[in-house]
Amino acid sequence: MHSIEIGTAVSSAPGLAKGFLKTGELPDGRPVQTPVMIMRGAQTGPVLWLHACVHGNEYCGTFTLHELVHGLRPETLKGTVIALPALNVTAFEKNQRMSPFEGYAGGDLNRCFPGVADGSFTQQIAYAVYQQLRRHADFFIDLHTAMTQDVRWALFPNLPNQVGRTADGIARAFGFSSTLPAPPDILAGAAAMTAAKDGIPSFLAEVGGKAANFTPEAVSDAAERLRNVMRHLGMLEGTMTDYGPLTYFSNFAWVHATKGGLFQRSVRCGDRVEAGQPIGQYFDLFGAPAGEAHSPKPGVVLAIHAGPIIATGETLIHVGLDPQQA
Amino acid sequence: MRDFEVGSAHSHGPGVTTGMLQVGYLPDGYPMEIPVIIVQGAQDGPVLWMHGCVHGNEYCGAYSIHQLVRTLDPAELKGAVVALPVLNITAFQRQQRMSPFEGYNGGDLNRHFPGNPAGTLTDQLAWHVWQPFKKYADFHVDMHTAMTPDTRWALFAPAEGPVGVKAEAMARAFGYENILPSPLSILGGSSLIEGAKAGIPGLIVEAGGLGPAFSMETVADVAQRLRNVLRVLEMLPGAVEQHGAVTFFSNFAWVTATRGGLFKRAVQCGQRIAKGQIVARFYDVFGELVEETPSPEDGVVLATGAGPLMPPGEIVVHIGLNPRAA
């Protein structure tokens, strides 16, 4: 069995290997180290790479990867699962989306792939991670959360080739009804888009809500859906669950708030909305109604701001466009 | 009919008046101002002072005060409600407990009353609030949240004589089952304790959790309970609703984390626990269990950490001691 080495995580036999991948250095000179788990099956098979907390406070993904990896048995696993559960670890520690050490370029790690070896703090993280991802991954899944507890949607880079078709199969096995076959020209710099263009079928799931918003049920459900993906990929035995038909979108509308204040949403993720339909209510500091927020487009609510306060420029709503059964 | 002047909110007769109270300056020289709502009733009566967001990210209190104020009809109100839904405005904006401009002494506003006009930023904020508070308040409700959505408890100051008697009546009318008659020796510098020492009976309500971790059902329930407090103070007509037996505590134990890591609580708010019972579990970044935290005392869980991450020094669990039917 050949050795897989990712930082200090070295796997050369069936079972779980753990270690850390260095992705940079802190201002005091100590290393930034992101945790790596390699679960090796007893039988040969493909390598599935998963990571979470590209955005540091999207902890639902961390717990989902922990539950998935600890539930796997080497004797029934074909191939290898590589899981990095807390990718943007300095942001993870600070309970924020982006690294507190990033001063440039916005620091959205999911716009920095494939990274730059001598770029900004976040570009260097992306570089260190992507070198390993491209070398080892046959398939790639990226876990995110959006804002609220009821978030359940997914996307895959819809390349017009076998990579896109394989990703479509992963999306169906994961089985979230709201799924975006992402046009190849959006989300440039996302790990999923970058990996797909390098020939690695990729998938991104948005589950459960930011920080403490998620439930143990969402974690367990997402872990089971990941097992279903692994059954589909031939990495696990067992009967596949059919989650039913999916709703595909042509694209999404990502709407930023142009008004600040106290905010209370009035729609849930998965709801159908019309253009101009109220989606939430603003209040001023005195509790007086201060205007409604409206959906700019018809479609399905993929994500919406959690409130209770919102500043201009924050993501107000994310709408899946042109829903059609697929 | 009375005259109230709280910042720019000037009320000279029945009705709802709003304005802003300056509580300091921002670093760019702009005034730091907080919202004031005065609801003056058509008939004479006492003044109930309410405030929220002493800790900036405890939004459930601001929403509850707004909800209550929207339901008050000056025609049926005796006396006046003076409501400051957002005391620590810069912390409120930043979604954090303490002001981002406070560099000294921790900045916990609820330990800084009656304040100091030449002290730290938070001292000065407390002082500016304390002046109209001391001038006008006959009774006082301070709205807080703990960490998780299931938080429901209250405290009052059992001062000698009518101040303690009135405060207990307010606590019973609010009617949460778990109540701490807070020894005057603890929580010095809170508006509750300093108010009681100044002859103002008061109540702290702990309802809902931090940030967006509260529901609109909790807000509506709290607003109803606050109306019942107004009834027991004879400020609103109608029979005082009886909420049933309550549990009093002798004090609380505040258990802080002595290690960091991924955190899952093992108990819920309101639950009876025994000394030695596991109240929380810590995991490392690979998802391995690294510590189980036993309860140091018998009692009732008043609050717990929400997780999913915890550094040392954060609150694991808050335990009400020596519960007794009262």
Q: Total domain count for chain B?
A: 2
| Chain A positions in Cβ-Cβ contact with residue B100 (cut-off 8 Å) | none
Q: For residue A291, what are its two tokens?
A: 């205007």
SS3 track for B96-136 = CCCCCCCCCCCCCHHHCCCCCCCCCHHHHHHHHHHHHHHHH
User: Where residue A187 falls among pLDDT bands split at 50, 70, 90?
Assistant: very high
pLDDT tops 70 at residue A169: yes
Give bridge partners of residue A10 from the DSSP assignment.
A5
Q: How far is A202 from A197, CA to CA, in rounded Å?
A: 10
Q: Could you tell me if A3 and A80 are in contact, meaning their C-beta atoms sit under 8 angstroms apart?
A: no
pLDDT at B1: 82
Query: What's the pLDDT tens digit per position in A50-82?
Result: 999 999 999 999 999 999 999 999 999 999 999
pLDDT at B106: 72
Mean pLDDT of B115-119: 94
- Residue from B322, B294, B323, B318 nearest B148 by CA: B318
Under DSSP, is residue A306 helix (H, G, I), strand (E, B) or coil?
coil
Nearest to B18 among A89, A213, A286 (CB): A286
- Pairing label, strands A78-84, A43-52: parallel
Q: Are residues B175 and B280 in the same domain?
A: no
Looking up residue B291, the CATH number of its domain turns out to be: 2.40.50.100
Share of chain B above pLDDT 70, in %: 100
Residue B239 belongs to a domain: no
Residue B264 distance to chain A (closest CA, Å): 10
Please give the torsion angle defined by the CA atoms of residues B292, B296, B299 and B303, in that order, rounded to the nearest 10 degrees.
Answer: -60
Which helix or strand (DSSP H or E) is residue A38 part of?
strand A31-40
CATH class of A249-325: mainly beta
Among B207, B232, B257, residue at a domain's last position: B232
The yes or no reply on domain A4-232 and CATH 3.40.630.10 is: yes
Residue B241 belongs to a domain: no
Residue B59 distance to chain A (closest CA, Å): 7
Q: For residue A133, what are its two tokens?
A: 């991802």
Domain residue limits at B137: 4-232
For B140, phi and psi rounded to 5 degrees?
A: -150, 130
Q: Are residues B54 and B174 in the same domain?
A: yes
Q: Could you tell me if B265 and B307 are in contact, meaning their C-beta atoms sit under 8 angstroms apart?
A: yes
pLDDT at A226: 98
Q: Are residues B257 and B124 in the same domain?
A: no
Query: What's the pLDDT tens digit per position in B251-282?
Result: 999 999 999 999 999 999 999 999 999 999 99
Inter-chain residue contact A285 with B308, CB threshold 8 Å:
no
Q: Are residues B226 and B254 in the same domain?
A: no
Q: Are residues B157 and B295 in the same domain?
A: no
Residues of chain A with CATH 3.40.630.10: 4-232
CB under 8 Å to B11, separation ≥6 — which residues?
A: B2, B3, B4, B17, B38, B40, B80
For B57, phi and psi rounded to 5 degrees?
A: -100, 25
Chain B touched by A254 (CB under 8 Å) = no
> Is the Cα torsion angle A227, A230, A231, A232 positive or negative in sign?
positive
For the residues of A288-303, what is the DSSP string, one character each? -EEEEEE-SSSEEEEE
For B62, phi and psi rounded to 5 degrees?
A: -65, -45
Looking up residue B167, the CATH number of its domain turns out to be: 3.40.630.10
Q: Are residues B223 and B269 in the same domain?
A: no
Mean pLDDT of B49-61: 98
- Residue from B188, B191, B134, B136 nearest B167 by CA: B191
User: Where residue A103 falls among pLDDT bands split at 50, 70, 90?
Assistant: confident
Interface with chain A: mutation pick from B309, B310, B314, B315, highest number of A CBs within 10 Å? B309
Residue B238 belongs to a domain: no
User: Where residue A177 falls among pLDDT bands split at 50, 70, 90?
Assistant: very high
Residue A160 distance to chain B (closest CA, Å): 37
| Chain A positions in Cβ-Cβ contact with residue B97 (cut-off 8 Å) | none
pLDDT tops 80 at residue B104: no
Inter-chain residue contact A62 with B262, CB threshold 8 Å:
yes
Angle at B125 between CA B122 and CA B130, to 5 degrees: 125
Residue B237 belongs to a domain: no
Burial class (CB in 10 A: 0-12, 13-18, 19+), B281: middle
pLDDT at B131: 98
Q: Are residues B181 and B217 in the same domain?
A: yes
Q: Are residues B219 and B263 in the same domain?
A: no
CB under 8 Å to B304, separation ≥6 — which residues?
A: B146, B147, B148, B265, B267, B268, B269, B279, B280, B315, B316, B317, B318
Q: Are residues B21 and B148 in the same domain?
A: yes
The answer to which of A275-279, B40-44, B106-110, B114-118 has the lowest mean pLDDT is: B106-110
pLDDT tops 70 at residue B116: yes
Angle at B53 between CA B48 and CA B59, to 5 degrees: 110
Chain B CA closest to residue A211: B308
Inter-chain residue contact A287 with B95, CB threshold 8 Å:
no
Chain B touched by A286 (CB under 8 Å) = yes
- Residue from A27, A50, A5 nearest A141 by CA: A50
Give bridge partners of residue A254 from the DSSP assignment.
A318
User: Where residue A1 falls among pLDDT bands split at 50, 70, 90?
Assistant: confident
Residue A165 distance to chain B (closest CA, Å): 32
Residue B90 belongs to a domain: yes
Interface with chain A: mutation pick from B286, B310, B315, highest number of A CBs within 10 Å? B286
For B188, phi and psi rounded to 5 degrees?
A: -60, 140
Q: For residue B142, what are its two tokens?
A: 């301070």
| Chain A positions in Cβ-Cβ contact with residue B285 (cut-off 8 Å) | 35, 85-86, 89
For A140, phi and psi rounded to 5 degrees?
A: -140, 130
Query: What's the pLDDT tens digit per position in A234-284?
Result: 999 999 999 999 999 999 999 999 999 999 999 999 999 999 999 999 999
pLDDT tops 70 at residue A105: no
Chain A CA closest to residue B92: A309
Interface with chain B: mutation pick from A67, A84, A281, A285, highest number of B CBs within 10 Å? A285
Tell me the one-letter amino acid at A313: G
Q: What is the pTM of this model?
A: 0.93
Crossing angle between the packed helical segments B216-232 and B59-71, to the nearest 10 degrees: 60
Residue B240 belongs to a domain: no
| Chain A positions in Cβ-Cβ contact with residue B309 (cut-off 8 Å) | 59, 92-93, 95
Count Cβ–Cβ pairs < 8 Å, chain A vs chain B. Answer: 79
Residues of chain A with CATH 2.40.50.100: 249-325
Interface with chain A: mutation pick from B143, B285, B304, B314, highest number of A CBs within 10 Å? B285
pLDDT at B151: 98
SS3 track for B192-255 = HHHHHHCCCCEEEEEECCCCCCCCHHHHHHHHHHHHHHHHHCCCCCCCCCCCCCCEECCEEEEE
Q: Are residues B264 and B201 in the same domain?
A: no
User: Where residue B36 falls among pLDDT bands split at 50, 70, 90?
Assistant: very high
Nearest to A69 among B35, B95, B287 (CB): B287
Number of residues in chain A: 326
Mean pLDDT of A214-237: 98
